[in-house]
């Protein structure tokens, strides 16, 4: 039995020795391809320089590479030899491992530090190793037990157990921060304003075993989730040391990180896996140089400018921690190769500390740069929000415990948007960030209001387009199809900014940013103009110039453009497909290009590009395609080319390795945009859609206002006047606004200018009545009134002038304008309810036979003139007073709001709440009241006591001779 046990031990030891790694150099004449092969074999690459790839291989891997013809040479494992010698010489002394802390000494140091400096230190176990050793993280902060509004910085070392300089540096950093906290202002500022997490020993088992890998012989910096080839961010199947770090990152909001390695002298920043530059590439460069600028050996490197390198440009790595934590958690993490020696002589450690102390402190302080603040709700509760910086495709998240965020940025001017599920996004523009000083920007987000988004898709002639797909830029809300009337609806759509897209027959025909807000809660008509350019490749390559193997491929009677028809693409090529004639984007607003694309490319090595140019020489990439994807529709903005010509090309590049990939396919190219030279009736603001805002602009113009000063100051151009003239009578009047409203509501399938059919109207019977101080413009048959322009003259406007619109419902618009001695009024609506209504109420000047008052009217489409030359008999001594309804407060409100009003005399009054559809919700007062001032509260319930939904409401006060309305917004 004893012999069997000894045999088992021998076999086990032999297996460990066979599975453990040692350094080896590979001489390569094709670095890129050989690195790719080594990665595919899960062989750890340490460094690449000149024509040499330095690796760590097992004995089995060494033999496999020899068999494959690699020119590989084993190197002595100096680090392990030194560590073993050091342990043998010191293990029985009072100072095992000499200046290096043994594992037991390290644990004792952390525990004693956390106890001695408990006010600023907290020791946390984040997991255990393969051999059940605790993995420690030491938190250092002034209020160490609290979650504060501070940037979080994480520092790691010894991910590779035999790379130990960083291990010593972080132990010394802990000693510096704790012992100098009360005596050094700079140290105090770091601790007081930063949440520091320090992990000097990432791989305890590897350190004890004096090897690179963990106890499972796995390289921990090659097996984090790889967002390209292993894009499942889960701990399942991961090494316990990796799982511990993944769980820690998921539970914290780390802003800046550093992980120490040895084997070179350079700062290595993302991406490691792909050639594409990271969204924060310039920031990464600056942070890296902040470290190396204080470290003379790194800054003066002869191998790397200023001692920094992009990871992929150095050599490709799969599954690195810096790629993983940046991709999934938006943390800026950099690999710091701090020493050529893995386990240098202990006597050199003070020198390493001298070289790196200032670099470390400056690196930690960098976390204070950029934009910081809190994102809360209306009651200042913290929100789990996302912060987006315009122009940087990398968002960050708040820490939901406090609601704080810290977005590290270079000096500059930025537009920043905060968003959170269930809340209205907020954007603050032109935020200035200076060097070394963080800029504080707080956001207070309002709860999202939801409403039905209703609309139609039509062509230029107002004809319905059925079967069109309408979608919004959110996966939470499914796309919808238009019915036979072109009608669509998104129910309970939260207010916010969306990308609104219409696809017809598989092709994108409309694409724009759309602000769904309180003012837009009215049907919208999307007008599909003819495409600016279309190409479906059914006529071959007549419009294209191609190089290399680009051509047409036919599949089931469909033709598409591809880089290599009928076969796999070839090696070492750069081939193009150019559109021969440029596309003109003169007089185009919001131009976009869409096409279908599919691709099958060697990941991270071969790429397809879509590029545009204004001159055919300087090309700007709008998209890069890598990996594999089936047919999909893509869209890109061409806004940068408005007013110019736009050249298009597709480019394909491949490396020298053998390929068995299909390549890239393109089909159904469509360029759309709002073409200003075309007349889209009703779309007066040129945004490609017809909305209630267009009707309001037309009505405002009809009374002499200047509603679109930024795009077309009054007087409007002929093109805009044509767009506004919806009944084709040569004028822009209130009836044109009414026709737009009726078209939007679906009461009219076409406007008269489109159908060529005039509309007839019944006489609504307009009259003017007056009291001592007011004049009433009355309509007897409100259901017959669709449009009214009124010019009242002469009028003397003084500080007592007040115009009251007694009607305030969603289906009508009003406008007014004072010009010299006249008052111009405008009214437009869909068909309203029956009855007699005062359309306008206004204060009046002195009126008598010598001072007659004239009203020139256009009622619907019929001109009329009314003259008033007398007032009712009144007491000349009495001084009239006016009843009045004040604006509610607060507004918006939730759940209650205060309403106050003044009564000039005793009388019967009604105070009623209506919803946006004009339906009565709640009667607050309906009784006879004395003259005076009244205050009451509406608690947001209906007459049955049930809470009402969020949205717009109207409060209406009716006295015997006056009517007042106020808009109120309830937000829950």
Give catalytic residue positions: 337
Give the position of tokens 């419009």.
Answer: 543
Give the up-direction half-sphere exposure of residue 708: CA atoms within 13 A in the CB hemisphere: 22
Nearest to 126 by CA among 149, 110, 150, 141: 110
Please name the residue ranges forming H helices in 68-215: 78-90, 103-116, 165-179, 185-193, 204-209
- 317: nearest Cα among 648, 39, 633: 39
In eight-state DSSP terms, residue 113 is H
Q: What six digits make up the tokens of 133?
A: 């050793």
CB 817 within 8 A of CB 704: yes
| DSSP 8-state code for residue 851 | B
Residues 771 and 872 sit within 8 Å (Cβ to Cβ): yes
Phi, psi of 371 (to 5 degrees): -115, 135
> Read out DSSP for 657-700?
S-----EEEEEEEEEEEEETTS--TT-TT-SSEE-HHHHHHHHH
Task: Report whether the peptide linkage leading into residue 92 is cis, meaning its omega lies within 30 degrees of zero.
Answer: no
The distance of Cα 741 from the centroid of its chain, to the nearest Å, equals 33
Bond prior to 892 in cis (omega within 30° of 0): yes
Give the CA distances from residue 940 to residues 889, 937, 954, 967, 972, in Å, rounded to whole numbers and listed in that order. 13, 9, 12, 14, 10
Nearest to 742 by CA among 929, 934, 522: 522
**Token reading at 313:** 């440009």
CB 702 within 8 A of CB 819: no
Strand order in the sheet with 469-472: 480-481, 469-472, 496-504, 507-516
Residue with tokens 């009736």: 681
- The closest of 468, 234, 205, 446 to 328, measured between CA atoms, is 234
From 532, 473, 541, select the one nearest 507 (Cα to Cα): 532
Q: Between β-strands 256-261 and 152-156, what pairing exists: parallel, antiparallel or unpaired? A: parallel
In the numeric block, which tokens belong to residue 901?
């009003």
- Say which residue the tokens 């350079």 belong to: 266
Supply 85's token pair.
């010698």
CA 137, CA 469: separation in Å to the nearest integer? 52
244 within 8 A of 221, measured Cβ to Cβ: no
With beta carbons less than 8 A apart as the criterion, state whether 55 and 222 touch: no
Structure tokens at 674: 């709002």
In angstroms, what is the C-alpha Rg of the chain? 37
């Amino acid at each position: 039995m004893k012999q069997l046990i000894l045999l088992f031990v021998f076999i086990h030891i032999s297996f460990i020795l066979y599975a453990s790694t040692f350094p080896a150099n590979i001489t390569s004449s094709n670095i890129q391809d050989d690195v790719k092969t080594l990665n595919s074999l899960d062989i750890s690459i340490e460094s690449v320089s000149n024509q040499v790839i330095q690796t760590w291989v097992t004995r089995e891997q060494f033999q496999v590479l020899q068999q494959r013809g690699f020119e590989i040479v084993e190197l002595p494992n100096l680090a392990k030899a030194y560590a073993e010698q050091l342990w043998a010489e010191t293990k029985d002394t009072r100072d095992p491992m000499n200046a290096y802390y043994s594992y037991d000494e390290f644990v004792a140091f952390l525990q004693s530090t956390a106890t001695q400096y408990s006010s600023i230190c907290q020791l946390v176990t984040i997991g255990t190793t393969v051999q059940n050793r605790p993995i420690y993280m030491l938190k250092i902060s002034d209020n160490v037990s609290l979650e504060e509004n501070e940037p979080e910085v994480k520092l790691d070392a010894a991910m590779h157990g035999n790379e130990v300089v960083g291990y010593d540096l972080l132990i010394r950093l802990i000693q510096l921060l704790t012992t100098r906290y009360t005596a050094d202002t700079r140290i105090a500022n770091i601790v007081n304003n930063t949440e520091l997490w320090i992990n000097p020993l990432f791989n305890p088992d590897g350190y004890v075993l004096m090897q690179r890998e963990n106890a499972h012989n796995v390289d921990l910096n090659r097996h984090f989730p790889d967002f390209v080839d292993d894009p499942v961010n889960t701990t399942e199947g991961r090494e316990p040391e990796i799982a511990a770090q993944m769980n820690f990152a998921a539970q914290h909001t780390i802003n800046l990180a550093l992980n120490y390695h040895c084997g070179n002298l350079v700062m290595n920043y993302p991406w490691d896996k792909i050639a594409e530059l990271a969204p924060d590439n310039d920031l990464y460069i600056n942070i890296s140089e902040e470290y190396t600028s204080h470290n003379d050996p790194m800054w003066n490197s002869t191998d790397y400018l200023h001692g920094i390198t992009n990871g992929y440009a150095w050599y490709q790595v799969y599954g690195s921690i810096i790629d993983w934590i940046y991709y999934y958690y938006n943390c800026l993490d950099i690999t710091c190769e701090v020493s050529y020696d893995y386990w240098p002589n202990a006597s050199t450690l003070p020198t390493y500390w001298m070289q790196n102390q200032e670099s470390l402190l400056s690196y930690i302080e960098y976390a204070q740069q950029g934009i910081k603040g809190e994102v809360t709700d209306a009651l200042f509760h913290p929100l789990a929000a996302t912060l987006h910086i315009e122009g940087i495709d990398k968002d960050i998240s708040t820490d939901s415990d406090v609601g704080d965020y810290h977005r590290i940025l270079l000096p500059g001017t930025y537009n920043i948007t905060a968003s959170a599920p269930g809340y209205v996004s907020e954007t603050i523009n032109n935020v200035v960030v200076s060097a070394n000083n963080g800029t504080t920007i707080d956001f207070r987000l309002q709860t999202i209001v939801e409403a039905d988004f209703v609309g139609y898709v039509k062509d230029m002639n107002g004809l319905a387009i059925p079967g069109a797909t309408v979608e919004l830029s959110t996966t939470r809300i499914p796309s919808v199809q238009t019915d036979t009337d072109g009608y669509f609806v998104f129910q309970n759509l939260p207010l916010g900014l969306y990308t609104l897209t219409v696809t017809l027959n598989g092709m994108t025909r409309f694409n724009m940013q759309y602000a769904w807000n309180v003012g837009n809660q009215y049907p919208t008509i999307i007008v599909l103009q003819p495409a600016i350019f279309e190409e479906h490749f059914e006529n071959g390559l007549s419009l294209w110039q191609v190089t290399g193997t680009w051509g047409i491929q036919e599949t089931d009677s469909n033709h598409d453009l591809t880089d290599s028809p009928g076969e796999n693409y070839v090696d070492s090529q750069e081939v193009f497909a150019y559109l021969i004639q440029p596309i003109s984007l003169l007089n185009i607003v919001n131009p976009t290009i869409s096409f279908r694309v599919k691709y099958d490319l060697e990941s991270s090595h071969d790429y397809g590009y879509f590029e545009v140019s204004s001159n055919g020489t300087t090309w700007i990439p709008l998209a890069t395609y890598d990996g594999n994807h089936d047919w999909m529709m893509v869209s890109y903005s061409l806004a940068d080319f408005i007013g110019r010509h736009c050249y298009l090309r597709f480019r394909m590049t491949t490396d020298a390795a053998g390929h068995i990939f299909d390549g890239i396919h393109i089909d159904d190219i469509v360029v759309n945009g709002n073409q200003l030279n075309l007349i889209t009736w009703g779309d007066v603001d040129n945004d490609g859609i017809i909305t209630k805002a267009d009707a309001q602009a037309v009505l405002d113009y009809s009374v002499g206002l200047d509603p679109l000063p930024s795009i077309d100051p009054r007087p409007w151009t002929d093109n805009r006047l044509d767009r506004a003239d919806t009944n084709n009578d040569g004028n822009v009047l209130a009836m044109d606004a009414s026709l737009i409203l009726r078209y939007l509501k679906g009461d009219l399938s076409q406007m008269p200018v489109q159908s060529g059919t005039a509309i007839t109207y019944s006489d609504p019977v307009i009259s003017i009545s007056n009291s001592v101080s007011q004049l009433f413009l009355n309509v007897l048959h409100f259901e017959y009134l669709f449009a009214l322009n009124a010019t009242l003259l002469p009028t003397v406007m003084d500080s007592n002038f007040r115009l009251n619109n007694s009607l305030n419902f969603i289906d009508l618009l009003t406008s007014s304008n004072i010009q010299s001695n006249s008052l111009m009024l405008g009214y437009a609506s869909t068909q309203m309810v029956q009855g007699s209504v005062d359309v306008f109420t206004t204060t009046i000047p002195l009126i008598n036979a010598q001072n007659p008052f004239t009203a020139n009217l256009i009622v619907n489409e019929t001109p009329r003139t009314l003259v008033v030359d007398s007032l009712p008999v009144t007491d000349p001594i009495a001084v009239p007073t006016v009843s009045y309804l004040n604006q509610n407060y607060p507004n918006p409100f939730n759940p209650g709001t205060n309403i106050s009003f003044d009564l000039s005399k005793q009388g019967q009054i009604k105070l009623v709440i209506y919803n946006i559809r004009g339906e009565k919700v709640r009667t607050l007062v309906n009784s006879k009241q004395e003259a005076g001032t009244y205050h009451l509260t509406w608690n947001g319930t209906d007459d049955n006591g049930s809470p009402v939904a969020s949205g717009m409401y109207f409060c209406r006060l009716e006295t015997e001779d006056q009517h007042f309305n106020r808009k109120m917004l309830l937000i829950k």
